[in-house]
Amino acid sequence: MIPTPHIEVDKKGVIADTVIMPGDPLRAKFIAENFLEDPKLFNKVRNMFGYTGTYKGKKISVMGSGMGMPSIGIYSYELFKFYDVKNIVRVGSCGAYTDDVKLYDVILAEAAYSESSFAEAMAGIKEDTLKPSAELNKKLEEAAKSLNIDITKGTIHSSDVFYRVNSDDYKKIYKEHNALAVEMESFALFANAQVTGKSAACLLTVSDSLVTKEATTSEERMKSFTNMMKIALEMAE
């Protein structure tokens, strides 16, 4: 086959049925090198590293998505549509909209609310709230339970904006949509899964809080996200 514009793989079977997608390609490299056996790099176009290896004997891939809906929209579509990928589990960071979730808590998205035009522009989908695969979510919940890792389930907000002039704007979205936290990718990922008939889910670790203004450094984030990775890998196992 001809490689896609953004993934330099020219045959099927190189990328596993299940792809774990962090936003940061260096985090994909970290997961591959620290958790997978025999990881092989399959993509370096635009430094968006993707690897396939095995976890407890099962073939699995991990690839960066980049930040924001346009970026994950491109990579997840190419994986679903052209490489026969069946499941994508996003593993990302988020900012808390409520005191109910604390720094480093793991959130399993039950729905993604967004004011983004992605789903409508992509496929005429008019809903502003999209859901992940119930089956994947069930597996992720079971994996978390078997690892004794607490997770919080709820709606998240997929935003196009990281820096807002009015930093209190989030309160309205929290109130109206009951969104626990904000990130920037899941709505587009769920739209692409819906359009291609595939499955997607999203696990997030709280990296900062819009309520308390606490934050973590990029190095702390890299190290603290292992719980979320373990859940995603255990699910694929």
Interatomic CA distance for residues 165 and 51, integer angstroms: 38
Helix (H) or strand (E) holding 170: helix 170-177
Residue type, 70: P
Binding map of ligand HPA across residues 183-222, x = CB under 6 A, - = no contact: xx----------------------xx--------------
- Asked whether position 228 contacts ligand HPA by CB under 6 A, the answer is no
Q: Which of residues 107-146 bind ligand HPA (CB under 6 A)?
A: none
Q: Where are the beta strands (DSSP E) in 97-185?
A: 106-113, 129-130, 152-158, 179-183
Residue 13 CB partners (closer than 8 Å, separation 6+): none
What is the three-class DSSP state of 188? Answer: helix
Interatomic CA distance for residues 227 and 111, integer angstroms: 21
Query: Is 17 noted as a catalytic residue in this protein?
Result: no
Q: Which of residues 68-107 bind ligand HPA (CB under 6 A)?
A: 93-95
CB of 31 to ligand HPA, least distance (A): 18
Binding map of ligand HPA across residues 1-40, x = CB under 6 A, - = no contact: ----------------------------------------
- For residue 169, the 8-state DSSP code is T
Q: Of 100 and 162, which CB lies nearer to ligand HPA in the complex structure?
A: 162
- Asked whether position 182 contacts ligand HPA by CB under 6 A, the answer is yes
Q: Which residue ranges make up the site for ligand HPA (CB under 6 A)?
A: 93-95, 159, 162, 182-184, 207-208
